[in-house]
């Protein structure tokens, strides 16, 4: 399987992260990591997706991802 960098579509300067052209590709990259990673749509360019870590509150079940980060809708 290709590396996360090879799968990236672009680099997001606002978030300082690699960006992926689809959620499917972002999920593939998230599964490459041993720790908990989540995919989310870039709020700067809604055609791109990022991969990032989940907060401890979400990991421990204290809050849902939408409660912590805000709903995507």
Q: pTM of the prediction?
A: 0.73
Please list, residue by residue across 2-22, b when 16 or more beta carbons sit within 10 angstroms of its beta carbon and e when fewer do. eebeebbbeebeeeebbbbee
Residue 71 pLDDT > 60, yes or no?
no
Domain positions in the chain: 4-69
Write the pLDDT tens digit of every residue in 4-57: 889 999 999 988 999 999 999 999 999 998 787 888 888 889 899 999 887 788
């Amino acid at each position: 399987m290709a590396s996360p960098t090879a799968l990236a579509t672009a680099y997001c300067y606002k978030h300082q992260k690699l960006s992926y052209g689809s959620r499917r590709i972002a999920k593939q990259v998230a599964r490459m990591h041993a720790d908990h990673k989540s995919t989310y749509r870039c709020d700067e360019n809604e055609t791109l997706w990022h991969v990032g870590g989940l907060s401890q509150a979400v990991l421990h079940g204290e809050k849902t991802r939408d409660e912590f980060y805000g709903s995507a809708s």
